[in-house]
Amino acid sequence: MRTLAFFLVVLSLALAQDWRLTKSLSEGLGERGAWRYTLSPQGKEARELWQALLPQYRNHLQAGYRVDLGAYSLYFRGGALWLSRACPTPHPACLTPGALPIPKERQDRFLLELAGLLEKALAEARGTGGRLTLTGLFRADLSQGQAPPFRAHPSGWKP
């Protein structure tokens, strides 16, 4: 099962069409700044799908539920937003699907691609330190070598 899940993640990354991971280094006054990693949907269909999922995810979080994003879950605890490891590898059972009028396979593919890039972005951010933002949902500032759970903050909305 673990091999199949790994294969699905690798395949979704190979076919990466819905999500983009951008990495930038801020600089100021001759000093090296912090790394910024941003996950965002690319293409009209992907943006529309993400815009349809965002309100559902925000409502889940505000109601006290977690949002599963593959190997990681996002949830409120003690008034703070947290991102922590929930599954050993991203696979469809570790995704929070939305109530959308699209085939489940399409939504799974979309979310598995996000999960794979989130894994990659977190690994890089943990290696360098910096800010990771998932457009419209959260941002987290990671220290170099930091282990989960990660403190996060709403991005693009207020709880």
Helices (H), 15-157: 44-62, 104-128
Q: Report pLDDT digits (tens) over 74-110.
A: 999 999 999 999 999 888 999 999 999 999 999 999 9
Task: Domain ranges for the chain, please list them.
Answer: 2-154
What's the rounded mean pLDDT across residues 12-28?
77
Hey, CA dihedral for 92, 7, 124, 47, is it positive or negative? negative
pTM for this structure? 0.85
Q: Report pLDDT digits (tens) over 32-58.
A: 678 999 999 999 999 999 999 999 999
What's the rounded mean pLDDT across residues 146-152?
96
pLDDT at residue 117, as a whole number: 96
